[in-house]
Structure 1
Amino acid sequence: MTATTPTTGATADTPRFPFDAQDLDRFRELQQLAYRCAENVAAWLEPGVTEREAARRLRRELVDAGVQDFFHVPFAWFGDRTAFRHFRTPLQFFASGRRLEEGMCFVLDCAPVVDGYTADIGYAGKIGDNPIWDRIALDLREYRELIVQQVRERRPLNEVYAAVDALIAKHGYDNRHRVYPGRVIGHQVTRMTARGPAGVNLFGFGVRTLQTLGRELVSERLQGRSPLWADGRSSRHAPTPGLWAVEPHVGFRDVGLKFEELLVVTEDDAYWLDDDLPHVRRWESAGATR
């Protein structure tokens, strides 16, 4: 379900939903822009292109479209790197010289910022035939449905994480989002108001991002919550009202897939910000074909 107005009903212990309908429209427009740029780069990809070339192309597409800053720099992963095989340090997440080959899968990840509004998306694709990719791509629909259902039930975030883990095990796949720093499956997204220099990055994250995230970490921890969604103690709380960038990332052997998009969490409801996205259209097309 896609909605344009938040629900109300906050209690004294629950923070209020911080955005209005106009804000949600701006976040939705930016998320659409990010996916369009990722689709443009995906259409340009061909065997021989390196991850670095793809990441640079994605950044150029975003800047040409009016993006002013980045929550994090654009990433591109090819082949077994989509499943984060042998990743040991954060530096391995940055685009490498790996070249795309026929039959390989790829993931493009970008987080543009415009007027303080942020989107964080993940686009998965393949070059040529890859039956394993085809199977996982269809299965990802279950994760999207499971997450929103569990959040609507106000289950603690670490329990939702565990439910996703259980579904991954049921499918016979590997949890790959646990390889991300902090083992996160998602993080809160706010409208950035920091005044640091736009376009300047430190360790892959924008300076304004680090300022905003640091402030949010302190504020949320004082309330017994965390803006980072993982499987540990800090996520043993009900979903905090706001926007969450959610990215279930699964793998099988050398194939890794994910989607990443914004989840709206109000005081008493949850829904995905937009259903007109590439992975959703893929599922709808597959359903119509069947």
Structure 2
Amino acid sequence: MVCRDAKTHKAAPVNPLKLSTPEDKQLFALGETHKDHRRVRTSVSLDRLPPTSLEAEELHSLFLQYGNFGTGVGKSENEPFVGPDGLRRVWMGDTRLEKCMMMFPQERNVHQKVFGGYLMRLAYELGFANAELFTGCHVLFVSLDCISFAKPVPIGSILRLSSHILHTTSSEQFPGLIHVGVQANVVDVATGKEQTTNDFRFTWCTDHNIPLTRKVVPKTYKEAMQWLEGRRALELGAEIRTIRYAAGAPGIRGTDSTKAPKN
């Protein structure tokens, strides 16, 4: 949430919170930790800095294991590729799922633009459907890892939502983790030009402790950067859940393991 002046539409001061109980102080400190994590993540984003040497090494290892088209003599590009870990390779580009729709006035906010919560719901539904199609089983919501509102969505515009599976992994706590990115673009009907208005990142896990049978693999350099960003998001999410569980924050389900995901 942000605080804006109703008349000038500029930033307005936020009333400070009174921390009167130990629980209040604990939750406030947790919020500060979340803010620091987001700030650090933004400063080292792959849009600004190249991947680390360790990440480059991991990408190269992924290429050696999954980059080749065939699995041996007589195998073709169209046949399933199963890696050394027993997971079937799926190119990231093949996980694309889209939704295109008109923005009607009943979803407008007080500024006569499309309500942000409605956009979040559309992105959530598309990401959920993509995660289920990828895993072939029911999935459970784990976290909303990132959300950005770059531009407002006008009433009457055509919105194109596109989603990709950006990263898949497992941990002792979650046998199957699926990180999904959803991008919202406004399409100019006359020119066909698109402008990105929103970017959403979600994480789901497989239900009933079902392990993953497929692994998403990047094919281009851009996809490789998205794969790394998804990996970072999963690691950050695991770290934050560990902090919340250690702090005993309300609403956190206890577990015998909150370690970061393994690749």
Higher helix fraction (1 or 2): 1
Q: Normalization by structure 1: what TM-score?
A: 0.28
State the structure with bigger RCO (CA 8 A, min sep 6), 1 or 2.
1
Q: Normalization by structure 2: what TM-score?
A: 0.30
Give 1 or 2 for the bigger CA radius of gyration. 2
